[in-house]
Amino acid sequence: MNNILNISAYKFVPLPDAPALRDTLHAWALELELKGTILLAGEGINLFLAGPDAAVRGFVAQLHQDPRFADIAPKESWSANQPFKKMLVKVKNEIIRMDHPAIQPAAGRAPAVDAATLRRWLDQGVDDTGRPVVTLDTRNAFEVDHGTFTGAVDWRIDKFSQFPAALLEHKAELEGKAVVSFCTGGIRCEKAAILMREVGLSHVYQLEGGILKYFEETDGAHYQGSCFVFDERRTLEADLSASDLSATKI
């Protein structure tokens, strides 16, 4: 029976009080007997939590009481077992490491497309202005190997901090196209889209909510394989169920 609710969410928002917030969120999570990981930094929050439905939703309700997090809308999936071993709340330099300090999503994000729009564009092969659509996978190579969008651009990076250099090397290949950056839950493709616009690519978008939101809101068309997640489920299918890891990867 799938009675464990798994959520992931992030928000780029200034958090000068990250160390104090760490203690508060850790206490809330322990009181509700949740497990997972919450990352905090001056640039925002990134969280992955799992537990009984009421406990998880209770934590989110408490989080929403802070005006900075009032609009956080977690992505959800269900599992039969708790996929995390412990509850960790950490303060980091970045909630997703890019090593590119000029990128500050809280100051303004790149345009986003929702799941239904991307599915329609991929059906058409072009965006609404007739420009060829390219999906750009911003994840690490081992994640891409489990699954990705059909025909997605994959620069075989080993860590996200390699993305800026890869972008400069391959920028010319993206000129004149509608580029939709994507990742697991949206956080990496948000930074990637801002950087692409900064280097002069004009028609760049991020997939709102990443692959997980695409699975949640569409039938998964145009995606091959499964989606790697950083917990004990390892990979999820398009219906957000845990994969059979004996299955062949793409």
* Location of each CATH 3.40.250.10 domain in the chain: 105-236
Please state which architecture CATH assigns to domain 4-91: 2-Layer Sandwich (3.30)
For residue 219, give both structure tokens.
């039938």
pLDDT at 38: 98
| Calpha distance 214→30 (Å, rounded) | 31
Cβ-Cβ contacts under 8 Å for 221 (sequence gap 6 or more)? 119, 122, 123
pLDDT at 248: 39
Q: Which CATH class is domain 105-236?
A: alpha beta
| Calpha distance 225→2 (Å, rounded) | 22
Considering the entire predicted model, what is its pTM? 0.91
Q: What is the pLDDT along the chain (250 residues), one digit of tens a residue?
A: 889 999 999 999 999 999 999 999 999 999 999 999 999 999 999 999 999 999 999 999 999 999 999 999 999 999 999 999 999 999 999 999 998 887 888 878 889 999 999 999 999 999 999 999 999 999 999 999 999 999 999 999 999 999 999 999 999 999 999 999 999 999 999 999 999 999 999 999 999 999 999 999 999 999 999 999 999 999 999 999 998 754 434 4
Query: For 4, phi and psi rounded to 5 degrees?
Result: -105, 120
* Location of each CATH 3.30.70.100 domain in the chain: 4-91
| Calpha distance 94→148 (Å, rounded) | 25
Active site residues: 183
Residue tagged 């420009």 (tokens): 131
- Position 233, amino acid: R
Per the CB < 8 A criterion, the answer to whether 141 and 157 are in contact is yes
Residue by residue, what is the 3-state secondary structure of 52-118? EHHHHHHHHHHHHCCHHHCCCCCEEEEECCCCCCCEEEEECCCCCCCCCCCCCHHHCCCCEECHHHH
pLDDT at 101: 82
Residue by residue, what is the 3-state secondary structure of the chain? CCCEEEEEEEEECCCCCHHHHHHHHHHHHHHCCCEEEEEEECCEEEEEEEEEHHHHHHHHHHHHCCHHHCCCCCEEEEECCCCCCCEEEEECCCCCCCCCCCCCHHHCCCCEECHHHHHHHHHHCECCCCCEEEEEECCCHHHHCCEEECCCEECCCCCHHHHHHHHHHHHHHHCCCEEEEECCCCHHHHHHHHHHHHCCCCCEEEECCHHHHHHHHCCCCCEEECEECCCCCCEECCCCCECCCCCCCC
pLDDT at 31: 97
